[in-house]
Amino acid sequence: MGTYLSTPKTEKFSEDGENGRVRYGLSSMQGWRTTMEDAHAAYPDLDASTSFFGVYDGHGGKVVAKFCAKYLHQQVLKNEAYAAGDIGTSVQKAFFRMDEMMRGQRGWRELAVLGDKINKFTGMIEGLIWSPRGSNGNDQADDWAFEEGPHSDFTGPTSGSTACVAILRNKQLFVANAGDSRCVISRKGQAYNLSRDHKPDLELEKERILKAGGFIHAGRVNGSLNLARAIGDMEFKQNKFLPDEKQIITACPDINTVELCDDDEFIVLACDGIWDCMSSQQVVDFVREQLLSESKLSVVCERALDRCLAPSTAGGEGCDNMTMIVVQFKKPKQSTESEGGQSSSTEEAAGSDSNGSDSKADESESK
């Protein structure tokens, strides 16, 4: 759904980076949509041993996706479970924390800034005059304490966003997902989904929606959302007698923990603008083929976006915003000594595996 431009915006934001563990490339493009509502985060050095990557696909506006891109990784780091080594718990709490932080006066102000909401009478960004603090994104000791102001009773945004994040620490990969953005791993060229698309017709999602008092019409929650989980969308989270994870729409992520092995090559995180046009296996095949002749991962992503872009808006598929991140795993450097005493070192891109008992990686299928 959504309105389209007469010609697509094909300008791309692209980025590359690497460290001793991974190298990554990403690209995003507005395409045929009238606004760009995707956002992303790429922090190869979240801390000394951890990398963080995320894609966020907004609906009903861009602000929740941008809010998540700005703050979600920070909240993963801040949670006490992270310091104890429990990444799964810290990322789950960070997803719920996004909804908490977007409420009240400060939440309203931050969303106003990210949405560039200008008051037509004063010419100022609305909300800033009510804040006793600046907006530099760095939480201080008060950690989003209550603020007085005209929007102190703000219940949160009616718009929302998917969130699909991948956190790499040592030989473990944690994938957390809410919505229909997706993470896929390539293991010896075979695509395995590390996340599940949360659609309303899934039995588990349908059961929660109906028990919470919602309904499904034409494949959409309350006839509106074609997602069963998302951050934001606070109008679907107003039942005061239910916990957050049992609301009509919930931010609760599925979390998949994967033990990495040498058979794994890379992961792809992307919004549904990609997955609507290519299956998980097709994306993996495309990336592997491109890597035979192109070493820059952002260029590989750009080519995937161009391939998915529809020639017109007649069909619908290929008309969405598109964001894609490829994260390629590096093998540890290995030194070998030859007979002459010379040593050589090689570093190859390889990857990880989801063959542990905690893994729920399923072989991908075309939509």
Q: What is the pLDDT of residues 162-186, one digit of tens each?
A: 999 999 999 999 999 999 999 999 9
Is residue 359, in this structure, part of any structural domain at all?
no
Nearby residues of 18 by Cβ (< 8 Å), 6 or more positions away: 24, 44, 330
In which band, very low, low, confident or very high, does the pLDDT at 332 lie, cut at 50, 70 and 90?
confident
Is residue 4, in this structure, part of any structural domain at all?
no
Query: In total, how many domains does the chain have?
Result: 1
- Nearest alpha carbon to residue 37 among 207, 135, 148, 160: 160
In which band, very low, low, confident or very high, does the pLDDT at 119 lie, cut at 50, 70 and 90?
low
Is residue 282, in this structure, part of any structural domain at all?
yes
> Rounded distance, CA 255 to CA 236, Å?
22
Is residue 273, in this structure, part of any structural domain at all?
yes
Is residue 127, in this structure, part of any structural domain at all?
no
Is residue 360, in this structure, part of any structural domain at all?
no
Give the model's pLDDT for residue 48: 94
Is residue 295, in this structure, part of any structural domain at all?
yes
pTM value is 0.86
Is residue 129, in this structure, part of any structural domain at all?
no
Q: Residue 164: give the domain boundaries.
A: 12-103+155-334
Top pLDDT among 145 and 157 is at 157
In which band, very low, low, confident or very high, does the pLDDT at 342 lie, cut at 50, 70 and 90?
very low
Q: What is the pLDDT of residues 190-238, one digit of tens each?
A: 999 999 999 999 999 999 999 999 999 999 999 999 999 999 999 999 9
At 32, which CATH number? 3.60.40.10
Burial classification of residue 291, based on how many CB atoms lie within 10 Å of its CB (0-12 exposed, 13-18 middle, 19 or more buried): middle
Among 64-68, 71-75, 122-126, the least confident range: 122-126
Write 120-127 long-range contacts (CB < 8 A, 24+). 127/151
Could you give the C-alpha distances from 227 to 1, 206, 222, 238, 349, in angstroms and in order? 13, 11, 11, 17, 35
Top pLDDT among 127 and 30 is at 30
